[in-house]
Structure formats: C-alpha cells, structure tokens
C-alpha cells in the first residue's frame, strides 16, 4: 500500500504537464530527487498504520497555480474542493476556452467558485445548452460567468434547471424575462421546482382574495417588477403584504393596485426592515407637519421610498429642507429622494449659485439626468451674465 502515494505523485506530474501544454506554458523541469523524496516520504516507520488525514490534493494545487488561480481566495471560499481526489480543472479550462473565455477569466471563475472544477464535461455541455435556450450567444454566457460564476455552477441539477425554465415559460414569461432573471436572480433556477410553484400559488391566491380578475397576469407582473421575488420565502412576501395593508390601512382594491404597480418592487425586503423604514418615515414626516393621509398618498405613488433606511432618508430630507425645498414639494415629488445625499447637496448648491427659485419653478429640475441638469445650469448662468 505504501506504493500508492508514489503512483499519485506520478499522476500529479502527468496532469501538471498536460495542463501546462493546454495553457501554452513552458514545461517545468522537475528534479528526479523531488519525485524520489515524495516516494520516500510516503513510507511509514515500523509499518505502523496512521489514521487517515484529509490532506489537500497536491496535483490539484499545482494545476491551479499553473492556471493563475488565486488559491488563497479559492481555499477560503470552498476548502473542501481541495481535498477531493478527482477534479476536472483541465476539462473545465478546455471547455470554457472553447466557448471564448480567456485564461484570465477562467482563473477568476475558479478563484471565486472553485466547485466549478468538480463538474463533468457532460454536465457542462448539457447546462450550456440549456442556457443557450435563453441567451443568444456564448459570449453572453461567458460574460455572466465572469461576473457571477455561482449563477452557472451553483447547482448541479440540470434536470431541475430545465423544469424551471419550462415552468417559467408556462407563466407567460418570454425569453427577455428569463434573461433578466438569470442575470439578476440566478438562484430562481436552482430553486426546487416545488418552491417556485409555492410562490406562484401564493401570488395567485392573493390576487384572487383582493378581487383580482386575472391571477396569471398578476403573477407575471409581480415577477417582472421584482426579479428577486422567487428567491424569497412565501412567509416574507405574505408578511410584507400584510404590513402594507395594515400600516397604510388599504382597501382590497388599493392594495391590489399597489402590488400591480411599483409596490411589487418592495416585497422582497425583510419584514423588519420594511416596518422600521415605514415607522421612521412616518415619524419624520409627521414632525414636519404632514398628515398620515399625506404619507399614505406618498407611499402609494412612490413605494420605493420604503427601501431607504432611516439614517439615509433623514439625511436626504434634512438636506432638501435646508436647501429651501418645502415638505409639501417633497410630498408631491418624492422621486427626488432617489438621488444620494451628496448628489442632492451638490445640485442645490449649483442651483442656488444661479439664483434658481424653487417656489416659482418647482423641484422637477432635481429629478433630471446629469446631462439635462448641466445644460439647465449653463442656460441659467448665461442669463445671469447677459
């Protein structure tokens, strides 16, 4: 049995040379004494049996180093991969190279998601084919893998992926919708099919309970407006809907309209975070003389405001009020809160410099693109000089 490690060492040498050739590297000269030391080190004194130790695969480490993989990063992320006896780093590299990935991209993919090297060629081919049902080119898929390797390699269940694709298509989602889901919330496709079905059934039931006439369209609308919805729990989504109903005192028709509109975009928030943001918003606005009915109207027209945490929201509101904006103007145009506090402060300063009158002209100018804003400032500055 003492000869087994020696055989592994020879296999290590063989795999290393093959990998170097595939990446166009100059073969490394290995001194025979190095191999001899490995063979000798495999023997044990007095033939005493030693307890098995989960050591790292030396051959794998050599190969990954030759490929330019950040082994330290990979080891931190998925250490168990390095103790596997058989891996497919060479096959993976050749496969991705054939799809147009550069050696640098391949190394980055493995560094961030080392479990990728455990996938067989057959598995990779089948999964790539399924992804090509959604994406038009190999280059698109390579681009996504370079950005988020987990999206492709996280799940090893190709059959489940195929079932989820067929299920989502059956909901009326088109190729463009699937493209957005796979790039933004890829875990949707590694969910069990049953899990996705449970969320869809919940949304259909909610639509029916609220008096909706088209549950299928309701589901499609929710998913298209909130790509993360299928990777959240049904408990979270149900709790958030209940919170919106009770906090805003919404009727069934009001709640249905909110969910079919931009309200869908906040359903993936944690329930505690949603409650905390609502309470802070309400207290802040009431402290400036707003009525609850004003706040309700504001949230219905711009539910994204509940995404903003207390500290950030308060800073933005204080900045606007300090800059001469009234609370009434903010209620009428809450979208100005989309921008960072720094952006808001900078724009207010520029507008004050050119004598912009918010009472006369309103605050729509704060909700414009940088290009349009700069053009307006230039025009106002020119009128001052003339």
Distance CA 317, CA 286 (A): 13
345 closest CA partner among 327, 329, 322: 322
Q: What is the pLDDT of residue 380?
A: 87
Q: Is the pLDDT assigned to residue 317 strictly greater than 70? A: yes
DSSP secondary structure string, 103-117? Answer: HHHHHHHHHH-GGGG
- Assess whether pLDDT exceeds 50 at residue 17: no
Q: How far apart are CA 222 and CA 335, in angstroms?
A: 21
Please return the burial class of 254, using the count of CB atoms within 10 Å of its CB with bins 0-12, 13-18 and 19+.
middle
Helices (H) then strands (E): counts for the chain: 23, 0
Distance CA(361)–CA(351), nearest Å, equals 11
Q: How many CA atoms lie within 13 A of 205 on its CB side?
A: 10
Q: What is the DSSP letter of 173?
A: -
**CA atoms within 13 A of residue 340's CA, in its CB half-sphere:** 3
Burial label, 234 (beta-carbon count in 10 A; 0-12, 13-18, 19+):
middle
Q: Where are the domains of the chain?
A: 57-154, 269-385
- How many residues in the chain? 386
The Cα 288–Cα 45 span in angstroms is 82
- The model's confidence at residue 352, banded by pLDDT at 50, 70 and 90, is very high
Which tens digits make up the pLDDT trace of 205-220? 999 999 999 999 999 9
Mean pLDDT, residues 302-310: 96
pLDDT of residue 35: 35
**6, pLDDT greater than 50:** no
Residue 272: other Cβ atoms inside 10 A: 10
Tell me: pLDDT of 50 over 80.
Answer: no
* Confidence at 48, pLDDT banded by 50, 70, 90: low
The span from the CA of 64 to the CA of 98, in Å, is 19
Q: What's the longest Cα–Cα distance across the chain?
A: 100
- pLDDT tens digits along 99-153: 999 999 999 999 999 999 999 999 999 999 999 999 999 999 999 999 989 889 9
Contact 92, 116 (CB under 8 A): yes
Nearest to 81 by CA among 103, 61, 101: 61
Residue 135: strand, helix, or coil: coil
Burial degree of 206 (CB within 10 A; 0-12, 13-18, 19+): buried
Of the two residues 272 and 30, the one the predictor is more confident about is 272
């Amino acid at each position: 049995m003492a000869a087994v490690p020696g055989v592994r060492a020879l296999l290590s040498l063989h795999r290393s040379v093959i990998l170097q050739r595939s990446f166009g590297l100059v073969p490394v000269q290995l001194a025979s004494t190095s191999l001899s030391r490995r063979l000798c080190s495999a023997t044990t004194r007095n033939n005493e049996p030693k307890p098995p130790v989960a050591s790292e695969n030396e051959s794998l480490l050599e190969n990954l180093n030759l490929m330019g993989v950040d082994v330290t990063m990979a080891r931190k992320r998925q250490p168990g991969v390095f103790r596997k006896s058989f891996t497919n780093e060479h096959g993976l590299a050749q496969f991705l190279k054939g799809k147009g990935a550069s050696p640098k991209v391949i190394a980055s993919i493995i560094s961030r998601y080392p479990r990728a090297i455990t996938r067989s060629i057959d598995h990779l081919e089948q999964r790539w084919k399924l992804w090509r049902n959604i994406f038009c080119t190999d280059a698109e898929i390579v681009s996504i893998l370079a950005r988020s390797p987990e999206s492709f390699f996280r799940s090893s269940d190709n059959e489940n992926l195929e079932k989820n694709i067929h299920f989502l298509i059956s909901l009326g989602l088109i190729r463009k919708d699937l493209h957005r889901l796979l790039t933004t919330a890829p875990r949707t496709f590694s969910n069990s099919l049953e899990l996705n079905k449970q969320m869809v059934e919940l949304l259909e039931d909610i639509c029916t309970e609220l008096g909706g006439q088209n549950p299928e369209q309701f589901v499609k609308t929710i998913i298209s407006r909130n790509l993360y919805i299928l990777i959240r729990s049904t408990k979270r989504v149900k709790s958030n809907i209940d919170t919106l109903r009770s906090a805003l005192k919404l009727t069934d028709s009001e709640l249905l309209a909110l969910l079919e509109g931009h309200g869908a975009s906040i359903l993936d928030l944690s329930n505690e975070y949603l409650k905390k943001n609502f309470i802070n918003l309400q207290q802040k606005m009431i402290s400036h003389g707003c009525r609850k009915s004003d706040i309700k109207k504001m949230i219905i027209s711009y539910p994204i405001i509940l995404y903003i945490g207390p500290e950030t929201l308060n800073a933005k509101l204080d900045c606007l009020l300090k800059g001469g904006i009234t609370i009434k103007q903010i209620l009428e145009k809450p979208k100005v809160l989309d921008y960072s506090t720094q952006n808001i402060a900078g724009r207010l300063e520029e507008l004050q410099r050119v004598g912009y009158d918010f009472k006369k002209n309103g605050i729509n100018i704060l909700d414009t693109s940088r290009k349009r804003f700069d053009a307006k400032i230039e025009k106002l500055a020119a009128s001052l000089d003339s």
